[in-house]
Chain A
Amino acid sequence: MNEFAGLLLLGPNDESIIVQTRKGNSVKNAIDPSPRKDQIDKYRRLLEKHPNWVERVPAIGGYNCVGHVWASRRTGIFEQEQIDIVFRDDGFRIVDETKELIHPGDLVAYWSTDHQHFLHIGLVVELRSAVGFTTSIPWVLSKMDATSGEVLHHFRDIDFPGFEYRFEFWTERQKLLR
Chain B
Amino acid sequence: MKKGYVTMPASIESIAKSNLTSDNSPVANALSRRTSVRRETIIGWLFVLPALVMYAIFVLVPLVMSIRYSFYSWNGIGEMTWVGIKNYITVFKVPNLIGTIGNAFQLVLYFSIFPVGLGLLIASIIHRVAPGQFGEVTRTILFLPQIIPLVAAGIIWGWLLSLSGLVNEILNAIGLGAITRAWLGDFTWALPAVGFIGVWVLLGFCTVLLLTGINKIDPSLYESARIDGATWWEEFTSITVPLLKNEIGVCLTVTITNALAAFDIVYVSTAGGPGNSTAVPGIQIYILAFTQQRIGLASALAVLLMILVVIVVIPIQRLSKESTL
Is B truly associated with A?
A: no
Residues in A lying within 8 Å of B, measured CB to CB: none
